[in-house]
């Protein structure tokens, strides 16, 4: 399905959602015509669409305010729609007055949004253990992805992650893309925070770096002392660390966010000086092509991008689109860890997912001894 068809499908779904909400609120409020609610919900939806994507890179105060308002409204409208749908299904079995239906819809929306905004701003720590053949000693690292420093998160959020890395006594922090989301936080104070990082930081790009300005971001990260990997391998603590740009898996493969031109993962991995008999970690923004990656002897594949879907129902879409959507998986002896993301895109809202960083303990031994993913709160 090409992008035009996807866009048309999305527009049809949005038009249907506006019509549904207009009909429900006309019923709730006893309106004889749908004209006013259709215009109202249509304008609100138009405000969301025009406020989120076009304004993400703007630096003015008014654009910042519009972006934040539109993003929050995105979450409100989504769960208002789902709540009205649930109440409508409930009405099939039980008789409800318009006033009772309106009360239930607003109450359900408020409860879900309250929980969702709390979950979206509560950073948790997940812990896993990965056994690596040939590793000389135990090594602890932290993995963070999708911080989305931008209109909702900035210096203080980054400092929180760096403090947690120090408290966990990890030897490095690996960031697999989408560190920034728009230009709002491309500020000296953010890069100075990275200069003062208590642990070494290694970074590979995500799709949002490209939207924001990947060349500038990478240059400023290097100046701040961050190790930026671009389709290369570095030696670290006896481990081969491979860092890839956000690439398509191979020629002919489809990815809405990766560049359609240029090298592929298959081409880059084939030319890198990798020794499959030695311990290795691969950093790539999206969790694609595990069959390809495991052929190169990679022991640990770190990725993000999916957000786990971030909030229901998109959690189901993300699970369908990515075989490894979140958490830790064993792929033919290779440990695959997909972060749900430390930050969020759009509204700072999560329903059915968690904002997380991961502390990963690498221990000598065979991969088939790997311990399962452990969820903890910090």
Per-residue pLDDT tens over the stretch 67-106: 999 999 999 999 999 999 999 999 888 888 999 999 999 9
Q: What is the pTM of this model?
A: 0.93
Length of the chain: 378
What's the pLDDT at 253? 82
User: What is the structure's pLDDT at 188?
Assistant: 97
Residue 275 and residue 240: Cα distance in Å, rounded?
Answer: 8
Which pLDDT does position 371 carry in this prediction?
43
Quick one: which H or E segment has residue 31? none
pLDDT at residue 372 is higher than 60: no
Residue 313's Cβ-side half-sphere holds a number of Cα atoms within 13 Å equal to 6
C-beta neighbour count of 169 within 10 angstroms: 11
Q: How confident is the model at residue 7 (pLDDT cuts 50, 70, 90)?
A: confident
Asked if residue 178 lies in contact with residue 372, where contact means CB atoms within 8 angstroms, the answer is no
The domains of the chain, with CATH numbers, are 3-120 (no CATH), 123-375 (3.60.21.10)
Place 300 in a pLDDT band, splitting at 50, 70 and 90.
very high
């Amino acid at each position: 399905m090409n992008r035009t068809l996807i866009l048309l499908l999305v527009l049809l779904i949005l038009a249907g959602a506006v019509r549904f909400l207009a009909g429900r609120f006309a019923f709730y409020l006893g309106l004889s015509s749908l004209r006013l609610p259709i215009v109202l919900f249509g304008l609100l939806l138009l405000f969301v669409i025009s406020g989120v994507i076009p304004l993400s890179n703007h630096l003015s105060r008014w654009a910042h305010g519009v972006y934040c308002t539109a993003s929050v409204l995105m979450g409100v409208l989504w769960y208002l729609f789902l709540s009205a749908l649930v109440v409508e299904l409930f009405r099939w079995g039980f008789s409800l007055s318009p006033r009772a239906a309106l009360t239930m819809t607003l109450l359900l929306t408020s409860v879900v949004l309250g929980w969702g905004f709390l979950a979206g701003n509560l950073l948790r720590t997940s812990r896993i253990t990965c056994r690596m053949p040939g590793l000389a000693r135990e090594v602890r690292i932290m993995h963070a992805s999708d911080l989305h420093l931008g209109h909702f998160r900035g210096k203080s959020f980054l400092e929180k992650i760096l403090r947690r890395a120090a408290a966990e006594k990890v030897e490095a922090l690996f960031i697999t893309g989408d560190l920034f989301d728009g230009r709002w936080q491309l500020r000296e104070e953010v890069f100075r925070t990275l200069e003062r990082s208590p642990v070494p930081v290694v970074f590979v790009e995500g799709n949002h770096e490209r939207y924001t300005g990947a060349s500038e971001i990478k240059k400023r990260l290097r100046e701040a002392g961050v190790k930026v990997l671009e389709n290369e391998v570095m030696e670290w603590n006896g481990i081969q660390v491979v860092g890839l740009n956000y690439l398509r898996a191979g020629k002919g493969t489809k990815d809405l966010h990766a560049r359609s031109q240029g090298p592929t993962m298959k081409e880059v991995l084939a030319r890198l000086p990798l020794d499959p008999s030695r311990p290795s970690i691969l950093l790539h923004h999206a969790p694609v092509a595990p069959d390809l990656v495991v052929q190169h002897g990679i022991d640990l594949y770190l990725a993000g991008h999916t957000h786990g879907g971030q909030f229901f129902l998109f959690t189901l879409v993300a699970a369908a689109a990515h075989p490894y959507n979140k958490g830790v998986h064993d792929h033919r002896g290779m440990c695959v860890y997909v972060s749900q993301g430390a930050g969020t895109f759009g509204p700072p809202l999560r329903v059915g997912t968690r904002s997380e960083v991961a502390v990963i303990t690498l221990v000598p031994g065979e991969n088939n001894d790997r311990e399962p993913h452990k969820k903890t709160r910090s």
